Chain A
């Protein structure tokens, strides 16, 4: 009885495995340099991108950064549910990721919301809460409590700088791009 179930089951599993590999290879491969030059063309598309893993987030491995031959070409890749997390062992390895390009737009509404969150964090820190989270990873300052002596925190400075750029942008917003990883393979 088992051999009548086992063999077909094995064949089905093999087919599923081969099928997913074929599906991945059907997505277009985009060079990182081309992606950085024409990012807005690929927003929402599933693409394959190769690069060197420059950094993997040490806490949870939920994101990593790929860098290309040009060190200015650097993009964040988050780990989707199918991936789970990236291993730190991947740092320095060449990988091919299959991912969806996402765009985060920073406009005045976003900045105002961020300022409001910052004000709450300052209040929480003053109340002794040491675990206020900063989800705005673009503001890699030391935190809302530490200032530059002029009373402005690094995060607030970043908001002000971004606000200037938003005002100068014709579209009224700034775009930050990242890849939502669906799968990856380490290249030899």
Chain B
């Protein structure tokens, strides 16, 4: 559980830098057909070897064409004759841990709440387990103080 939330925490912390769950690949395409029809869409995809990936297509606007593929999609600007295909591939491990991090089901929410309660218990009881100079009266005091002062510092500066 700690690994699940640790990994997904790092992954989701950097949402601005990457898609944590999917590897996204994009390629440019050229649309040369005069009109949109099932045949012209099929020919367009066949030109790039994607005809077997075809699912559906529709036009969000008269100048746009959206083609759904298995694991991806194509957006075409019909006026400019340019398109972009985007494929999404699940990132192994990251997809699964992120899925769990996003609380997919109520049962998981309860289970992860229980885990967090256990973590809190460990954090508190762990303060007093080690005795002597490595315990809370020795080195432990410094580490505990650091663990409190660093987040406190961030709160004071940024909140």
Residues of A within 8 A of B (CB): 52, 54, 58-62, 67, 71, 81, 84-85, 88-89, 91-94, 124, 127-130
Question: When chains A and B are docked, how far (Å) is the Cα of A130 from the Cα of B15?
Answer: 11
Known A-B contacts A85-B99, A92-B56, A127-B158; the reply to A71 vs B61 at CB < 8 A is yes
Please tell me if the beta carbons of A129 and B102 are within 8 angstroms of each other in the complex: no
Chain B, range 37-77, C-beta contacts under 8 Å to A: 55-56, 58-61, 66, 68-71, 73
Question: When chains A and B are docked, how far (Å) is the Cα of A59 from the Cα of B15?
Answer: 9
CB neighbours (8 Å) of B29 from chain A are none
User: SS class of chain A's interface: helix, strand, loop or mixed?
Assistant: loop
Please tell me if the beta carbons of A52 and B58 are within 8 angstroms of each other in the complex: yes
Known A-B contacts A58-B22, A61-B102; the reply to A93 vs B55 at CB < 8 A is yes
Interface size classification for chain B: 20 to 34
Asked whether any CB of chain A lies closer than 8 Å to the CB of B85, the reply is no
Q: What residue in chain A is nearest B71 (Cβ atoms)?
A: A89
Please tell me if the beta carbons of B56 and A81 are within 8 angstroms of each other in the complex: no
Q: Which 5 A-B residue pairings sit nearest by Cβ, starting from the closest?
A: A92-B68, A92-B55, A84-B104, A60-B102, A84-B105
B41 to chain A, nearest CB (A): 13
Please tell me if the beta carbons of A91 and B68 are within 8 angstroms of each other in the complex: yes
Residues of B within 8 A of A (CB): 15-16, 19, 21-22, 55-56, 58-61, 66, 68-71, 73, 88, 99, 102-106, 157-158
CB neighbours (8 Å) of B102 from chain A are 59-62, 85
Please tell me if the beta carbons of A81 and B55 are within 8 angstroms of each other in the complex: no
- The residue that B105 contacts in the complex, of A62, A81, A89, A127, with Cβ under 8 A, is A81
B98 to chain A, nearest CB (A): 8
B159 to chain A, nearest CB (A): 9
Please tell me if the beta carbons of A71 and B60 are within 8 angstroms of each other in the complex: yes
Q: What residue in chain A is nearest B58 (Cβ atoms)?
A: A71
CB neighbours (8 Å) of A85 from chain B are 99, 102, 104
CB neighbours (8 Å) of B105 from chain A are 81, 84
Question: When chains A and B are docked, how far (Å) is the Cα of A67 from the Cα of B61?
Answer: 12
Please tell me if the beta carbons of B22 and A88 are within 8 angstroms of each other in the complex: yes
Q: What residue in chain A is nearest B22 (Cβ atoms)?
A: A58
A-B contact pairs, 23 of them (CB 8 A): A52-B56, A52-B58, A54-B60, A58-B21, A58-B22, A59-B102, A60-B102, A61-B102, A67-B60, A71-B58, A71-B59, A81-B105, A81-B106, A85-B99, A85-B102, A85-B104, A88-B88, A89-B70, A91-B68, A92-B69, A93-B56, A93-B68, A129-B158
- Which interface residue of A92, A127, A128 has the most chain B CB atoms within 10 A? A92
Please tell me if the beta carbons of A58 and B19 are within 8 angstroms of each other in the complex: yes
CB neighbours (8 Å) of B103 from chain A are 84
CB neighbours (8 Å) of B70 from chain A are 89
